[in-house]
A and B are shown apart, each in its own frame.
Chain A
Amino acid sequence: MSAAPAPQPATAQRSSILPALALNALAFLFGLAVWWAITAAKLVVLPGPLEVFQRAIELALNGQLAIDIFSSLRRVLTGFLLGAALAIPVGFLMGWYTVARALIEPYVQFFRMIPPLAVIPLAIVTMGIDEAPKIFVIFLASFLSCVVATYQGVISVDRTLINAARVLGATDSVIFPRVIIPASIPFILVGVRIGLGSAWATVVAAELIAAQSGLGFRMQQAQLYYDLPTIFVSLITIGILGLLMDRILQATERRLTQWQERAR
């Protein structure tokens, strides 16, 4: 799309960003302090921030952390990209053709009710303990969230926009690429974001059950050896990576949908 940069109204928003960031940092430091205080006072039997930080350095230096991150991310991205790539055309098909919708929707709605994790035992039995079952489960998780969002997007395209295109001489074959697709992009991106979120949640859980590498696997191993600092490092890494992926998608979303009127 060739949307020109729009003149941004008011810079009032900008000035409020700095204090917000400062407050974020303050909250973070406060949390860290509470964590340190609780563990230093031996109120709970958990590793303190320093211990976890040391373990993180250790795991980073011996390369284990990188290997774990890489295997988890590879699974997520493979499954997620396959899922989204199939979901978007299927979602368009469901939104545009009522026959396709009637044929596909019951399956989508049914499988949506099954948590992807519940499919893991079946996937392991039928696909072995390789990469295949994990990628399949992630694929399923991201496919289901993206397909519903895409199809919702298509059916909620404003009728007046379609009519406006028709009175300007557009036929269905023009309306689809020039109206339906751009109008449903915001919905699709929301679906993609939810899909990536559930894919990330699923990979960790799948690795807890059966894997030879990955952040979930590392935690499972650490659990056997009562290695709490490693569990902490893995948890924090999972959180940070999830947050990063979400932020990247959010930025993409903003860029692709800057034409939308936003309440904020």
Chain B
Amino acid sequence: MSPQAQPKPSFQPKLSFQNVSRRFGEGEKAFLALDRLNLDIADGEFVTVVGPSGCGKSTAMNIAAGLMDVSDGQVLVDGKPVRGPGPERGVIFQQYALFPWLTVRQNVEFGLRIKGMPAAERRRISDRFIGLVGLRDFADALPKTLSGGMKQRCAIARAYAVDPTMLLMDEPFGALDALTRVHMQDQLLDTWSRERRTVFFITHDVDEAVYLANRVIVMAARPGRLHKIIPVNLPPVRNEEVRLSPEFTEIRNQVWHAVYHQKPLVDA
């Protein structure tokens, strides 16, 4: 099977992986984490990425974030090659990665402060995003006093504060309990539907992948590569009704099959 190439859209993609490969190690022990990934993501699109461990989904995200170099190929954001992290790409990590010595507000203002924004303006922006994620009562609390869901909301507010046009999320709700996760998903969709930032969302949860996405990207492992792209033709407004609909189940089954019944790669 050769890596699937998508038909080139006529508009400029927001995020474009072009023949991206990434190797780790040298010689005998070299390991191909990502093999010739070709993928275009449109402006304002919400894509989720699922796949078994070792499929290179985190590698792809780290490359797009500018935290990792490619071995081959290139990643374009708004048509420009990625060289290191940039303010237009907000990243949300699974482990929250809040600065534990800073309060919620100071965490949210971190990116603004290093830009040298005046305090009053920082305050205005942090107020807005802390309110958006529902942490107003905890603005002056330290991360250690927050629950996992609250920490992740703080991380989301921190990413939003620098006003990125794209969000890269690496299993952001992976560590949360099922109820909190559903709540966080609805909240994320709610903000997304209002602000239409492009979202590249990694998850290991098939339900989550289908519920959130316009398209589900299924990847395969050894070597990490694109396996299948499954469009999610569900109503744009997602809610419990959608989640329980037969159409949802149908797509969910497709994705499930694509993730868990991948044929091993025969030719190298």
Binding site for B on A (CB under 8 A): 1-4, 6-7, 9, 158, 160-161, 163-170, 174, 178-179, 182-183, 185, 258-261
Contacts and interface: CB of A to CB of B under 8 A. Distances in A.
23 contacts: A3-B103, A4-B140, A4-B141, A161-B97, A164-B99, A166-B66, A167-B67, A167-B89, A167-B159, A168-B111, A168-B114, A168-B158, A168-B159, A169-B111, A169-B114, A169-B115, A169-B162, A185-B101, A259-B101, A259-B143, A259-B144, A260-B100, A260-B144
Contacts of A7: 141, 145
Contacts of B144: 6, 259-261
- Count class of interface residues, chain B: 20 to 34
B203 to A, nearest CB: 18
Interface in B48-103: 65-67, 84-85, 87, 89-91, 93, 95, 97-103
Contacts, number: 79
- Tell me the interface secondary structure of chain B in the complex: loop
By Cβ-Cβ distance, the 6 closest A-B pairs, closest first, are A168-B111, A164-B97, A167-B91, A259-B101, A160-B97, A6-B142
Given A3-B101, A160-B97, 15 more contacts: A3-B102, A6-B145, A158-B97, A160-B95, A161-B99, A163-B65, A164-B91, A164-B98, A165-B99, A166-B67, A166-B84, A167-B159, A182-B99, A182-B101, A261-B144
B93 A164 contact: yes
A175 B95 CA distance: 19
Contact of B110 (A1, A165, A260): A165
A179 to B, nearest CB: 7
B65 A167 contact: yes
Nearest to A1: B101
Contact of A3 (B95, B110, B142, B158): B142
Nearest to A173: B114
B207 to A, nearest CB: 26
B99 A179 contact: yes
Contacts of A185: 101
B146 to A, nearest CB: 10
Contacts of A3: 101-103, 142
Contacts of B143: 259
B154 to A, nearest CB: 12
B117 to A, nearest CB: 11
Contacts of A158: 97
